[in-house]
Amino acid sequence: MRICVLPVVASLCVGVLDGQTAFILGASAGIAQASARLLAADGASLYLLGRSMRRLEATRDSILAVAPDAEIVVQKGDPEDEGTVAAAAQAAYDVHQRLNIVVGTVAAGGTGPLIEQDLATFTDFVMGNLRSNFLALRYSAPLMNNGGAIVFISSTSAKIPMEGLGHYSAGKAALEMFIRVAASELGSRGIRVNAVRPGLTAAATTQGYIHLEELTSSFLERVPLGRLGVSDDIAPGVRYLAGPESSWVTGQSFAIDGGNEVRGAPRGPMFTV
């Protein structure tokens, strides 16, 4: 008998990812944690890399609560450090001599007008949305001998200009072109490279401003479905792009944003707080 994780999506069923290994970077909370749960529930073995062992262990425990037979390895380390990522990718492969799925979730966010930032700050934010993702692809793709899927987390900010998010938007827009080039270069190896593009999502990284009623209400006027996203809204998109259901999809960034891209950004400097 096949038991579906999400009854409304019949293809997301236990066993679809049996025999596959997934390497997840930044796997200690939010979208990464929710995505890891779905991958494990469908049978994937997990190798989780993140900066906080306490949060990695919490992620592991939350996964085991819904998938008690899941095989999970956690490693504390900096997912923006080249040596750490290279070693972790190899370690993920070594668990079962295979690497099938890579999910890169590391990002850098902040707010403020462009003309008030110095070069170091701007560069740090842009590279914070690229560095770990580049390293994940650079050191994982050569180990994906039988093809596979690489999934990154972009943002609607890559498409919708929002005042106060210039450095973040620049990093995410660069990530999306990186994904398209990588998809072209790696297609002959059977490796697909895609991203999900979340809208404003309630998470630890957004708590600094989503509590501001004026900002949130102004933003929600531009979201046809009328609410902020949560990690469990985004994770099924990651799961789809990681699995066989998307075997003919590569080089794409899929918006999961409540319809925000339909209406665009509110006018004015929302994110300069």
Q: Which residues are catalytic?
A: 168
Please state the separation of Cα 216 from the chain's center in Å: 23
CA angle 268, 198, 101 (to 5 degrees): 155
> Rounded to an integer, what distance in angstroms lies between the CA atom of residue 238 and that of residue 150?
10
If one counts every other C-beta atom within 10 angstroms of the C-beta of residue 29, the result is: 19
> Rounded to an integer, what distance in angstroms lies between the CA atom of residue 238 and that of residue 254?
10
Q: 10 and 4 in contact (C-beta within 8 Å)? A: yes
Q: 121 and 162 in contact (C-beta within 8 Å)? A: no
> Rounded to an integer, what distance in angstroms lies between the CA atom of residue 3 and that of residue 10?
9
